[in-house]
């Protein structure tokens, strides 16, 4: 069973690899909100017609308001994963510094583009010597946060040299205060945003990039006239305008994370990191613990690059919390 090492969410492979695992399987391998936004039924118009410019404008406005970002700095896209893969077609840095560890696709994409990739735990310190810095804020998988002030300092340094600060804010909706989206459109800054994780609707495939005009124009040319489906635009507008739901979701996720921490601490994990959507734990043999949990019908995230770390998402129900506790604390 190796397919899970690239990403979480491969529940069908897990069920095939562990056919005797208790049912129903519990998928804790992704950092996706297990209590999704209550999506309204799509309108007939969003299904029957091509997305209108007005629908795109409404969604862009709702997203910009939620991010506190300049509306004209934002380009809609079908998820941030595609944006990560398109970045080398938009800018051409030769030396790219990446936070290590972080979301693995960033390093993969820049290496494939022929860039020299420098993986470090202090990427911002290299702003004077590299052409681009890429990091997640908060970071995935350890939840490490970066302040808006330190990111702005690095952006200014890079921009003076014609460089780029790329900030993947896939989990920024959990705590918007450090987000650099407020500086959207500033020289040398590219911000990636994702809809599916916080709103629990990863299948909608909605995201955005905030960037200077030259990058926005090049990206729009690549994405074409209808980059996002009408149903995604409609749903995204509803969700981003629903500030009350967002506030309640943050409180609910914090409470759920505290309950998960209680389970993990009771199981004896010495170090717990992460965000309110997932926790990263340290253990002696992560792959053996992963197999133990898989045998109990619990799917968590392991990593090819580490034998000591596991990432565990939020159980959705008291029953799921009980099964996780029983598997970890026999």
pLDDT tens column, 296-330:
999 999 999 999 999 999 999 999 999 999 999 97
pLDDT tens column, 220-246:
999 999 999 999 999 999 999 999 999
Whether the link from the prior residue into 118 is cis, omega within 30° of 0, is no
Q: Over 80: is that where the pLDDT of 64 sits?
A: yes
Per 3-state DSSP, what percentage of the chain is helix, strand, and coil (rounded to 5)?
45, 20, 35
| CB-based contact 157:165 (threshold 8 Å) | no
Whether the link from the prior residue into 24 is cis, omega within 30° of 0, is yes
pLDDT band at 2 (very low <50, low <70, confident <90, very high): low
Mean pLDDT value across residues 11-26: 92
Q: What is the share, in percent, of the chain residues with pLDDT greater than 70?
A: 98
Whether the link from the prior residue into 138 is cis, omega within 30° of 0, is yes
DSSP 98-125: EESSS-THHHHHHHHTTPEEEEES-GGG
Q: Give the Cα separation of 265 and 44 in Å (integer).
A: 49
Mean pLDDT value across residues 282-293: 96
Asked: is 3-36+244-328 a CATH 3.40.50.2000 domain? The reply is no
Q: Encode 13-32 in three state secondary structure.
A: HHHHHCCCCCCCCEECCCCC
| CB-based contact 112:224 (threshold 8 Å) | no
Q: Round the average pLDDT of the chain to a whole number and report it.
A: 96
Q: State the pairing for strand pair 95-99/116-120.
A: parallel
**Tell me, what's the pLDDT at 330?**
76
Distances in Å between the Cα of 196 and the Cα atoms of 80, 162, 232 are: 9, 32, 11
What one-character DSSP code corresponds to residue 175? -
pLDDT band at 280 (very low <50, low <70, confident <90, very high): very high
Instruction: Match 């039924």 to its residue by tokens.
Output: 41
State the number of CA atoms in the 13 A half-sphere of 189 facing the CB: 23
User: In angstroms, how far apart are the furthest CA atoms of the chain?
Assistant: 58
| CB-based contact 68:179 (threshold 8 Å) | yes
- Give me the residues paired with residue 190 across strands: 166
> Hey, how many other C-beta atoms are within 10 angstroms of the C-beta on 305?
9
Long-range contacts of 303-306 (CB under 8 A, 24+ apart): 303/5, 303/101, 303/141, 304/5, 305/101, 305/104, 306/101
**Tell me, what's the pLDDT at 84?**
98
pLDDT tens column, 39-60:
999 999 999 999 999 999 999 9
| CB-based contact 14:25 (threshold 8 Å) | yes
**Tell me, what's the pLDDT at 31?**
94
SS3 label, residue 168: strand
Q: What is the share, in percent, of the chain residues with pLDDT greater than 90?
A: 95
Mean pLDDT value across residues 130-137: 98
- The closest alpha carbon to 276, from 168, 134, 173, belongs to 173
Per the structure block, which two tokens stand in for 13? Answer: 């492979």
Q: Which fold has domain 44-241?
A: 3.40.640
Provide φ and ψ at 221, rounded to 5°: -65, -40
Q: Where are the domains of the chain?
A: 3-36+244-328, 44-241
**Tell me, what's the pLDDT at 3?**
60
pLDDT band at 6 (very low <50, low <70, confident <90, very high): low
- The closest alpha carbon to 116, from 93, 86, 91, belongs to 93
Beta carbons within 8 Å of 36's beta carbon, 6+ residues apart = 199, 200, 201
pLDDT tens column, 134-191:
999 999 999 999 999 999 999 999 999 999 999 999 999 999 999 999 999 999 999 9
């Amino acid at each position: 069973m190796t397919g899970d090492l690239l990403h979480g969410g491969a529940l069908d492979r897990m069920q095939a690899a562990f056919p005797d695992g208790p049912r129903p399987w519990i998928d804790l391998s992704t950092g996706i909100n297990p209590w999704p936004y209550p999506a309204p039924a799509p309108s007939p118009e969003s299904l029957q017609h091509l997305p209108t410019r007005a629908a795109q404008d409404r969604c862009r406005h709702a997203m910009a308001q939620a991010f506190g970002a300049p509306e004209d700095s934002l380009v809609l896209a079908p998820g941030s994963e595609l944006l990560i893969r398109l970045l080398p077609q938009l800018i051409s840095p030769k030396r790219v510094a990446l936070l290590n560890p972080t979301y693995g696709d960033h390093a993969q994409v820049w290496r494939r583009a022929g860039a020299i990739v420098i993986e470090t735990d202090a990427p911002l310190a290299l702003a004077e010597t590299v052409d681009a810095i890429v990091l997640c804020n908060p970071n995935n998988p350890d939840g490490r946060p970066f302040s808006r002030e330190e990111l702005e300092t690095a952006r200014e340094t890079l921009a003076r040299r014609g460089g780029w600060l790329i900030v993947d804010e896939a989990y920024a909706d959990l705590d918007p205060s450090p987000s650099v989206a407020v500086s959207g459109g500033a020289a040398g800054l590219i911000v990636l945003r994702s809809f599916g994780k916080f709103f629990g609707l990863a299948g909608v495939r909605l995201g955005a990039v905030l960037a200077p005009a030259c990058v926005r124009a090049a990206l729009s040319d690549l994405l074409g006239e209808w980059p996002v489906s009408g149903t995604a635009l409609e749903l995204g507008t509803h969700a981003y305008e629903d500030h009350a739901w967002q506030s309640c979701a943050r409180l609910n996720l914090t409470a759920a994370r505290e309950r998960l921490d209680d389970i993990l601490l009771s199981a004896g994990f010495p170090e717990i990191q992460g965000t309110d959507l997932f926790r990263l734990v340290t253990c002696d043999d992560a792959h053996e613990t992963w197999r133990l949990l898989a045998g109990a019908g619990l799917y968590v995230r392991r990593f090819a690059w580490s034998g000591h770390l596991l990432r565990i998402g939020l159980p959705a129900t008291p029953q799921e919390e009980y099964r996780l506790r029983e598997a970890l604390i026999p």
